[in-house]
Amino acid sequence: MIRAIIDLALRNRLLILLLVLLVTLGGVMAYQRMPKDIYPDLNAPLVNIITTCPGMASEDVERLITFPLESLMNGSPGVIRVRSESTTGESVVTVEFDWGIDIYQARQIVSGKLDIVAEQLPDSASDPVLGPVSSRMGEVFEFAVVGQGADPMELRSVADWTIRYRLLGVEGVSFVVNLGGFVRQYQVLLKPEMLHHYGISIADVKDAIEQSNRNFSGGVIRKQNQEFLIKGLGRIESLAHIENTVITARDGVPVFVKDVAQVREGAMFSTGNAGFNGQEAVSVVVQKQYGGDTLKTIENVKQFLKQIAKDIPEPIHTVPYYDQSGLITSSLRHVELSMLEAGGLVLLVILIFLVNLRASLIASLTIPFSILFALVLMYAGNVALTVMALGGLAIGIGKMAGGSVIMVENIFKFLESDTSGASPLELTARGAKEVGSYLFSANLIIVLVFLPLLTLEGIAGRMFRPTVYALVAALIGSLVMNITLQPVLMSFCFRRRSGKRRRHWFVEFATWVYVGILKLSFRLRWLVLAAAVALMVIGADRYQQLGNEFVPALDENAMIVSTAMLPETSLHESVRVGKKVEEILLSFPEVVSVCRTTGMAEESEHVHPVNHSHNMVELVPREQRQRGYEELTEAMRLELERIPGLVHMFEQPISNKLAEMLTGTEGQIAIKVFGPDLQVLDQKTREIGAVMSRLEGIADLHVEQTTGIPQILIQLDRAALGRHGIKVQEVADLIETALNGVAVTDVLETDRLTPVFLRLPEKYRQDVETIRGLLVDTPAGHRIPLTQLATIDRSEGPQTIFRESLMRRKTIVCNVVGRDVGRFVKDAEAEIARKVELPTGYLVDFGGEFESQQRTMQQLMWTMLVVALGVLVVLFASLGSLRQSLLLLLNVPMTAAGGILALYWTEQTLNVSSVIGFIALFGIALQNGVVLVGKINDLRRGGMPLHEAVIEGSTYRFRPILMTELVLILGVLPLALGTTTGSEIHRPLAVVYIGGFVAAIFFEQIVLPILYELFARIKKDRFAPA
């Protein structure tokens, strides 16, 4: 088949050139249209169920709302885990589905069950709603709404109604979350003495306002040839309308709302605050649509902000502080530049070996055309252009170049040395056909090696499937170009035979040196084999010392500094300390801006108590910084540790979002303690925290504190209620409305909705004594203080209750500095097992980034085993000898040792990137061994003695093997040496490649010939001459 394709291409040379031109245009168009991002779409199929019940204590939220929802969702089709957060007035249940389930199918499954549980929830609870079709990984752009001296309420109104309301309509935007400022509302502050004077209850006021805010219709009347629509206007439109709403009449005199309450414009009770560079602000977080194009979405948002600037009143304006587009652009540019640099180095190597500029250019041209071909296939397969996908193309550069060199060199050899008198076109065809089948088999081996990676599940599959797809597409493109374009170009550029063979001085000298080393190695064979064994032993030893992590940390030119105070800390105090943290962070010259958010947004699906703050720190570009990320964070830690009672954690934004999405926790390591009793959980987490604090490398240790929140407990006396004929519901309604307040209705204004809020003034809500004096109406018309119906005392309770897999959970989170995560976790597990005794029914589990790392690395190890078995099958099919197949498999530990030592010497870790490098390394490195052994077998079949066949075969294959290895090394060298943003992801892979192929040169050129001869002498094989 390959021979037929080559003949067809040479018969239709102009058509081939036109098709290549078409592919080129298609590749350019695909590049322009493909979505671009840092990582592939890592949005896990998560569905958040949000239920609010204002003022309800966290224990009641857990028992009455969260638990019924959890129980219903657990065990649903495709559900792998259910976790939840219950805090004052809100329940968030997160249902995690298997990665293979479509997000919309997952939402349909959850939505279908909500109707079942809705009737079981308290009347005061809202209907459960599903969170947006996005996750924290979709938070791609953030900006602050600020204005020097601007009123916080005006800031929030602009952010809500001028910006957010319209921003939701921008293409690519899924959800927008505002936090900070004050939400405007109309407040009806009741006067208890006037209510008593008129004999009016709080419920009467509430009903009167609700019933006085509606438009209505009288239908249609017809008169002659016209119809008139009857429209009634009765909606509240101003404060005066509320004040003049009639509640009832006493002795024929109407009683208005203004007679029993103060009506004013005020601020909604706030659960969050934001600041930007020390001034009051509203933080706006933009989430892209599920599977959307990040760059396009961000560009659309930026254009929107430019257009809307004229509608924002002075001095209010917007300031972006987190923009993923810059990170994406710089990361992609790094990989693209590395690919160009690799192409230049490859061209130089080819030119040195071929000593012909035209042939070298033809061999090099295949690389860009193959990449363009791959882009077309990627676009057709809906593969986004991410750093991971470009990494696949970069990995393939060496292999693409290697195939091109083999094809061009073989054709060139035929053109130089043929004496048969055949035409150059015929010689081109002969040369192409001789190696065409080999190139097909070689690429097939690589494809087979990478195919098991497509079976990876979870986040590993999402992350590395594009790498495999891009590499396979590039190899297919390379093969197509090798057997079509290259023969055509060679036939055009070499229309005449050269008549003489050129002297390749460098190659001849290198070959002469190699033959001398090879012969010396045969004389010192046992020393050489001992050196090979020593290399593998050292590699195995260094493997034990390698660090472990999930993916290399990506310097995003930004960081998230999370801080927390004691659980009982008020929002006001948290904001005061938060501003101090802002000042400290801004004092560092590497910091451009700091946006602080304290507490949680009203419409957020993430529970953050008021004692928690998150500081998004924008840094100057990496190239302009005096200090690296770790050095800078260490300096910041020292400053923040001076603030008493403050705990802190430093993370990169994407790492933070990824960890929180996958496991519901922050930090590299999350130690989860499960059990039924909150007090025991609190005690055990403190004990574990004390053990962790003494471990080497610990940083940003945060022991979750959710208990000890001050409460005022109202315990109703049922006997007293019975004596007065009062129902529990009546007291509950009174307390909820009077103390917590209730949104009665909304005022529909020109472009916004303003809620009308009903409650008692602040002076009636200040302490226990004022609450005890709250008057309750009796059926007999009397009013008695609440203290006669209930016991009212101070108490303590949990702030937030976390659950996972139907069990209560508390967490200790931390980062690791100066050590690898894997070894740290091993030490932590041993110390906790030795020093902390857990009661029956309690258990400890490690999560966070480490959880994802363990799951992924386990999958990759199984994948490597499958790859090894697959390679063995391919080798046996190629050589027909199990002994020689096993001999070639010795290349695996040798190249692995080289990769491990390279990781060790360059202080890289064993992570997903480096393991992918090992898998690719094994498949590619074995090809040259197959070619070498195959040549020796051919010589022996021709009657050549064993030793001479080994020397002759090794010498004959020296140039193509060396050239291929050098091309492969140089193809990834720019990735290994890169220092710009994004280089961290591919550096471990490139380092493995370089170290592995250097070891492969030693094995294939020196060790393999010696082992071949030893194996052949031990037992006669079928390749020996008869």
- Domain segments of the chain as ranges: 1-33+355-502, 44-133, 504-554+851-1026, 669-708+798-847
* Rounded Cα gap, residues 269 and 185, in angstroms: 10
Q: How confident is the model at residue 849 (pLDDT cuts 50, 70, 90)?
A: low
Residue 955 three-state SS: helix
Is there a contact between 263 and 186 (Cβ–Cβ < 8 Å)? yes
Please determine, for residue 1026, whether its predicted confidence score (pLDDT) is greater than 50.
no
> The domain 1-33+355-502 belongs to what CATH superfamily?
Multidrug efflux transporter AcrB transmembrane domain (1.20.1640.10)
Please determine, for residue 441, whether its predicted confidence score (pLDDT) is greater than 80.
no
DSSP state of 128: P
Please determine, for residue 460, whether its predicted confidence score (pLDDT) is greater than 50.
yes
SS3 for 848-891 is: CHHHHHHHHHHHHHHHHHHHHHHHHHHHHHHHCCHHHHHHHHCH
- pLDDT, tens digit (0-9, with 9 covering 90-100), for 323-353: 988 888 887 887 778 778 777 877 887 777 7
pLDDT computed for residue 502 by the predictor:
59
Q: How confident is the model at residue 589 (pLDDT cuts 50, 70, 90)?
A: very high
The DSSP code sequence of 346-371 is HHHHHHHHH--HHHHHHHHHHHHHHH
Most confident region among 235-249, 417-431, 883-897 by mean pLDDT:
235-249
pLDDT computed for residue 273 by the predictor:
93
pLDDT computed for residue 246 by the predictor:
93
44-133 and 669-708+798-847 share one fold: yes
Is there a contact between 185 and 263 (Cβ–Cβ < 8 Å)? no
Two tokens at 269? 């009770």
pLDDT computed for residue 546 by the predictor:
81
Please determine, for residue 75, whether its predicted confidence score (pLDDT) is greater than 50.
yes
**Helices marked H in 653-778:** 653-663, 678-692, 718-724, 728-735, 768-772
Please determine, for residue 267, whether its predicted confidence score (pLDDT) is greater than 70.
yes
Length of the chain, in residues: 1026
Nearest CA among 271, 156, 178 for reference residue 600: 271
Q: Which CATH number fits domain 669-708+798-847: 3.40.50.300, 1.20.120.1200, 3.30.70.1440, 3.30.10.20?
A: 3.30.70.1440
* CATH node for 44-133: 3.30.70.1430
DSSP state of 146: E
pLDDT computed for residue 636 by the predictor:
94
Which residues, at least 6 apart from 148, have a Cβ–Cβ distance to it below 8 Å? 279, 315
- pLDDT, tens digit (0-9, with 9 covering 90-100), for 181-204: 999 999 999 988 888 888 888 889
- pLDDT, tens digit (0-9, with 9 covering 90-100), for 728-753: 888 888 888 888 888 899 988 877 88
Residue 644: C-alpha distances to residues 275, 303, 682, 945 (Å): 21, 44, 21, 82
Please determine, for residue 496, whether its predicted confidence score (pLDDT) is greater than 70.
no
* Rounded Cα gap, residues 693 and 814, in angstroms: 10
Buried b vs exposed e over 18-38: b needs ≥16 C-beta within 10 Å? Answer: eebeebeebbeebbeebbbbb
Residue 961 three-state SS: helix
pLDDT computed for residue 845 by the predictor:
87
Residue 301 three-state SS: helix
Helix, strand and coil in the chain, % to nearest 5? 55, 20, 25
Please determine, for residue 469, whether its predicted confidence score (pLDDT) is greater than 50.
yes
- Average pLDDT of 938-961? 83
Greater confidence (819 vs 102) lies with: 102
Q: How confident is the model at residue 598 (pLDDT cuts 50, 70, 90)?
A: very high
Helix axes 294-308, 324-354, angle to 10 degrees: 140
- Report CA 512 to chain centroid distance, whole Å: 52
- Report CA 592 to chain centroid distance, whole Å: 24
* Rounded Cα gap, residues 684 and 677, in angstroms: 11
Please determine, for residue 941, whether its predicted confidence score (pLDDT) is greater than 50.
yes
Please determine, for residue 293, whether its predicted confidence score (pLDDT) is greater than 70.
yes
Please determine, for residue 596, whether its predicted confidence score (pLDDT) is greater than 90.
yes
Half-sphere exposure of 168 (CA within 13 A, CB side): 11
Please determine, for residue 968, whether its predicted confidence score (pLDDT) is greater than 50.
yes
**Helices marked H in 133-252:** 152-157, 165-167, 192-198, 202-210, 239-243
Greater confidence (569 vs 410) lies with: 569
Greater confidence (457 vs 794) lies with: 794
Q: How confident is the model at residue 967 (pLDDT cuts 50, 70, 90)?
A: confident
Nearest CA among 491, 146, 549, 563 for reference residue 315: 146
- Average pLDDT of 136-148? 90
* Rounded Cα gap, residues 674 and 242, in angstroms: 51
pLDDT computed for residue 497 by the predictor:
52
Greater confidence (887 vs 830) lies with: 830
| pLDDT > 90: percent of the chain | 24
Nearest CA among 72, 83, 76, 81 for reference residue 109: 76
- Average pLDDT of 377-403? 82
* Rounded Cα gap, residues 843 and 796, in angstroms: 26
Please determine, for residue 499, whether its predicted confidence score (pLDDT) is greater than 60.
no
Which residues, at least 6 apart from 423, have a Cβ–Cβ distance to it below 8 Å? none
pLDDT computed for residue 185 by the predictor:
92
Two tokens at 975? 């990735």
* CATH node for 504-554+851-1026: 1.20.1640.10
End-to-end CA distance of the chain: 34
Q: How many CB atoms lie within 10 A of CB 1016?
A: 21
- pLDDT, tens digit (0-9, with 9 covering 90-100), for 298-320: 999 999 999 999 999 989 999 99
Q: Whole-number mean pLDDT of the chain? A: 85
